[in-house]
Amino acid sequence: MAPFVPLMMSLLIVSLILFYGSSSCNAKHALNCSRFCGVHNISHPFRLNDSPKHCGKMNYTLSCENNELKLYWKSKEYYYVQSINYNNYTIRVVDANIVHHYHHSFLPPSSLPPYSYPSFELYRSYQYLELSSYPYYGMKILTKVVTYMRCPYPVMHGTATCMKENGSYIGEGSVFRVNAGNDTLQDLRVGDSCRIEFMQPTSWPEEYYNQSNISCTDIHNMLLYGFELSWLQSFCAETDYFVQLDYDNNPHCDWIQIEMRGLSITLLGICLYIGAKFLLGTPFVIIFLIYKWRRRHLSMYEAIENYLQSDNNIMPIRYSYRDIKNITSKFKTKLGKGGFGSVFKGKLRSGRIVAVKVLDQTKGNGQDFINEVATIGRIHHVNVVQLIGFCVEGSKRALIYDFMPNGSLEKYIFSHEDESSLSCEILYSIALGIAHGIEYLHNGCNMKILHFDIKPHNILLDEKFNPKVSDFGLARLYPIDNSIVSLTGARGTIGYMAPLL
C-alpha cells in the first residue's frame, strides 16, 4: 500500500501542471487574438484579416484601414463599423455610400442591399416570458427600415417629405417612410403607383425622434446611425437548434423555438394525445393478438378432440405425452425426419418395438393427423402399416406404428452399394404387395381411401421384406360408388405421380 500513495500524488501533480499549463496557454492565445482598431476592441468571434488562423471565425473577418474598422460585403463594397457590443452580441454598421455622400447629396447614388450578410441577422430583442405557468420565448425586432419612394402625387400619411435640401428640391411626390421592415405598399398607405427607390435599416432609438412627425433631420440621423446586426445565431450554427437567452443573458441552444403560446399548447396537446393513445392502446392490441392466436390454436385442438370423441370405431390406444416420452426414452433414438416431423424408435411396456412419429407443431392445422387416424386407425391389412396408438395433448401430437426393421424401400432401390440391392424376385414381391395394399385401400373398406402420396419413401419393409404402405397424411376418404374425384389443388410429392391419378 505504501508505494501506491506516492504514485497517486505524482499523478495528481502532473494533472495539475497539465491543467494550469493548458489554461495559461488558452489565456495566452486569447490575449494574442485580442486586437484594437481605433477605439474598437476586436475579440472572439471577430478577427482582423491579418490575425492568426486560430483567432476568431473566418465568417466574422473585419478590416482595419487607417484606424477605421470596416466590414466588407463584396470585394469593394463595405460597411463602417460604428460599435461592437459583446454584451448583447451586436455590431452596428453603416453603409459607406451614405457616409461618403452625406455632405454632398441628401440621397446616396447607391446603397448596399439590407439583410445581405449571411453570418448575421437583424438584431432582435429576446424576452423570456411566462404565462399560465407555461414558459416560452417572445422576441421583437428592434431594427426599423427607412424606405424612400417616388410617387406621382403628394402622400401625407405619416411620411417625411423632405422636399427641399441644400437649395434643391427632391421632388414633390418624393417621400420617406419608417416602418417595421415587413410592411407592404398597402400597409404603408402610399398607393400601388409609388416606386421604391431604396431601403435602408436603422437602429436609431425611437425615443430620439417624434414618430408622428418625422423630420428630415431625423431621417439624416437614422441613416447615419446605421443598424445593428446580431451574431447570436452563430452559437448554434453547427446544429439544427435555435439560440435563446436565459435570465442572465447567456446564450444556449434549444431544439425548437415556438413564439406563439397558442401554437405551443396545441402541439403539446397533440403530442400528449398521441402518447396517451399509444400507451393505453398497446396493451389492448397485444392482448387481442394473443387472444386471436390462442383461439386459432384452440379451435384446431378442439376439432381434433371432437373428432376423436365422436368416432367410437377407432381401435388404437390413446397415450399421454408423458407415455410417449417414456416409450421413446425421452426421444433418444431418432430414425429419420420428414416434412411432417421426426420418427423415433421406442419400446412398449409389453416389449414390443415401435416407431413413434412426432408431428411438427408448426406444420398443418391438424387435418393431417385426423387423416392418419381416420384411415389406418380402422383398417388391418398385411400390406398396410398398422397404427398401434396415438397421442393428442394440445399442440403435441404423435402416432405409434409397428417398427419396420428394414426401413423404407427408398434406401434399397436408390442405393449404389451391391449389398444393399435387392434381387428381382424380392422386388417383384414388393411391387405385388404394394399393389395389393393400394387395391385394398380402394375397394376393401367401407370408404374408398385415396393415398395421394405413394413413393418409395412411404413404403416400409418388415424383417421379411414384406411391403407396408404408410404415411396417410394426404389421404382422402370417398364413397365407394364415386367414380369422379375432384381436386382443388396439387397434392403429393413433386416428381411423383400417384398411381391412382
pLDDT at 432 over 90: yes
pLDDT at 265 over 80: no
- For the stretch 114-125, pLDDT in tens is 555 566 666 655
Distance CA 11, CA 214 (A): 71
What is the predicted pLDDT for the residue at 187?
A: 59
> Looking at per-residue confidence, does 249 or 127 come out higher?
249
Is residue 104 very low, low, confident or very high in pLDDT (cuts 50, 70, 90)?
very low
pLDDT at 400 over 80: yes
Residue recorded with cell 402420396: 453
What is the predicted pLDDT for the residue at 431?
A: 92
Q: CB–CB of 338/453 below 8 Å?
A: no
- For the stretch 470-488, pLDDT in tens is 887 666 666 666 665 555 5
Which whole number is the average pLDDT over 409-436?
82
**Cell numbers that stand for 199 in this block:** 431601403
What is the predicted pLDDT for the residue at 361?
A: 65
Is residue 132 very low, low, confident or very high in pLDDT (cuts 50, 70, 90)?
very low
What is the predicted pLDDT for the residue at 60?
A: 86
**Cell numbers that stand for 172 in this block:** 414633390
φ, ψ dihedrals at 232, nearest 5°? -60, -35
Lowest mean pLDDT among 78-92, 174-188, 201-215: 174-188
Lowest mean pLDDT among 37-51, 88-102, 264-278: 264-278
> Looking at per-residue confidence, does 281 or 51 come out higher?
51
453 annotated active-site: yes
Which whole number is the average pLDDT over 124-133?
46
Omega prior to 45 cis, within 30 of 0? yes
Beta strands in 258-340 (DSSP E): 317-319, 334-337
Is residue 429 very low, low, confident or very high in pLDDT (cuts 50, 70, 90)?
very high
Is residue 200 very low, low, confident or very high in pLDDT (cuts 50, 70, 90)?
confident
Distance CA 152, CA 194 (A): 7
**Which of 75-79, 223-227, 351-355 has maximum average pLDDT?**
351-355
Distance CA 113, CA 77 (A): 11
What is the predicted pLDDT for the residue at 81?
A: 92
Q: CB–CB of 98/108 below 8 Å?
A: yes
Q: CB–CB of 460/408 below 8 Å?
A: yes
φ, ψ dihedrals at 263, nearest 5°? -65, -40
Element (H, E) at 494: none
Tell how far CA 177 is from the center of its chain: 52
- For the stretch 309-360, pLDDT in tens is 555 455 678 888 999 999 999 999 998 887 678 899 999 888 889 999 898 7
Annotated binding residues for ATP, written as ranges, equal 357
What is the predicted pLDDT for the residue at 166?
A: 39
- Mutual angle of helices 367-376 and 261-310, in 10-degree steps: 0
Phi-psi region of 468 (alpha: psi -120 to 50; beta: other; left: phi over 0): beta
Among 95, 218, 323, 453, which one carries the catalytic annotation?
Answer: 453
Is residue 129 very low, low, confident or very high in pLDDT (cuts 50, 70, 90)?
very low
- For the stretch 146-159, pLDDT in tens is 777 777 766 655 45
- DSSP, collapsed to helix, strand or coil, labels residue 153 as coil
The mean pLDDT of the chain is: 72
Distances (CA, A) of 431 to 377, 428, 454: 24, 5, 12
- DSSP, collapsed to helix, strand or coil, labels residue 16 as helix
pTM: 0.43
What is the predicted pLDDT for the residue at 484?
A: 58
Which whole number is the average pLDDT over 357-384?
73
The residue among 218, 228, 250 whose CA lies nearest residue 83 is 228
Which whole number is the average pLDDT over 275-279?
79
Distance CA 227, CA 473 (A): 90
With 0-12 / 13-18 / 19 or more C-beta atoms within 10 angstroms meaning exposed / middle / buried, residue 55 is buried
Distance CA 130, CA 122 (A): 25
pLDDT at 49 over 80: yes
What is the predicted pLDDT for the residue at 480?
A: 61
Is residue 362 very low, low, confident or very high in pLDDT (cuts 50, 70, 90)?
low
Protein fold of 311-479: Transferase(Phosphotransferase); domain 1 (1.10.510)
Q: What is the dihedral of CA 8, 12, 15, 17, to 10 degrees?
A: -130
Is residue 243 very low, low, confident or very high in pLDDT (cuts 50, 70, 90)?
low
**Cell numbers that stand for 86 in this block:** 459583446
